[in-house]
Amino acid sequence: MPDPRTDELDEAFHKIEGEAPGRLRRAIRWIRTPKARLLRVPLGILFILGSFLWFLPVLGLWFLPVGLLLIAQDVPFLRRPVGRMTLYLHDRWIRLRDGWRRRRAARHP
Q: What is the mean pLDDT of each run of 10 residues along the chain (109 residues)?
A: 64 90 92 92 92 79 89 92 93 93 84
**Is there a contact between 64 and 70 (Cβ–Cβ < 8 Å)?**
no
pLDDT for res 3:
53
3-state helix, strand, coil in the chain (%, to 5): 80, 0, 20
Q: What is the DSSP letter of 2?
A: -
Backbone angles phi, psi at 62, to 5 degrees: -65, -15
pLDDT of residue 7: 78
- Return d(Cα 83, Cα 10) in angstroms, integer: 8
Please, are residues 12 and 86 in contact by the beta-carbon 8 Å criterion?
yes
CA 94/CA 9 separation, integer angstroms: 18
